[in-house]
Amino acid sequence: MRTESEHHTPGQVLAHRVREARKRRDWTQQQLADRLRELGFPTHRLTIAKIEKGGTRAENAPLREVLALAAALDVAPVHLLVPLEDEAMVAVTPELFSQARHVRAWIRGRNILRGGDLAQYLAEMPDSEQLALLDPRDNISQALGGPLPVDDNFREMRDALLSALSKEESNG
């Protein structure tokens, strides 16, 4: 059995990706702090340094802070929390590990994690997103010039949704 230390935690990824995205913009930590302040999220340069260092500060970053960092860096929040490398393993919890591509799809609402309850997953999804599962195309895939890849988890979710819809129509 693998251990959490063999996987990336969201905090480790956050530390790495904030630093990487900041440097790609050729910003200093102070410039990122200034941008956060412009967005109404005052943050000290030392806070940025602590996040980039990783450890407890990155692992326990408040959700509002993650969203503010993503907005300041023009990065989707999912890309601050999950490695960009598809095959990288992510420790969602100390006992639940999955490949980065599956975790990104789960965060986007396009996939269920292994061992999850599909009926519950679909029940908590807005109707508009359930209907979108019937057609794997979305704004991103259209911008890329083709449909997103569809895996077995997606097919299972789509088939369950189609089955539920047909039952509703026959009962309604």
In angstroms, the Cα distances linking 168 to 28, 86, 98, 157, 172 are 56, 37, 34, 17, 6
**Mean pLDDT of the residues in the chain:** 84
In angstroms, the Cα distances linking 137 to 21, 77, 127, 144 are 28, 21, 16, 10
Confidence (pTM): 0.77
Confidence of residue 131 (pLDDT cuts 50, 70, 90): confident
- Residue 121 has what pLDDT? 84
- Residue 2 has what pLDDT? 41
CB 89 within 8 A of CB 98: yes
User: Who has greater pLDDT, 148 or 11?
Assistant: 11
Confidence of residue 169 (pLDDT cuts 50, 70, 90): low
Please write the tens of the pLDDT for every residue from 64-97. Answer: 999 999 999 999 999 999 999 999 999 999 999 9
φ and ψ at residue 148, rounded to 5 degrees? -70, 155
Domains of the chain in start order, with CATH, are: 4-81 (1.10.260.40), 112-171 (no CATH)
User: Who has greater pLDDT, 158 or 90?
Assistant: 90
- Residue 110 has what pLDDT? 82
CA distance 171 to 8: 46
CA distance 59 to 138: 32
Confidence of residue 142 (pLDDT cuts 50, 70, 90): very low
Residue 152 neighbours by CB distance under 10 Å: 8
Per-residue pLDDT averaged across 48-55, rounded?
97
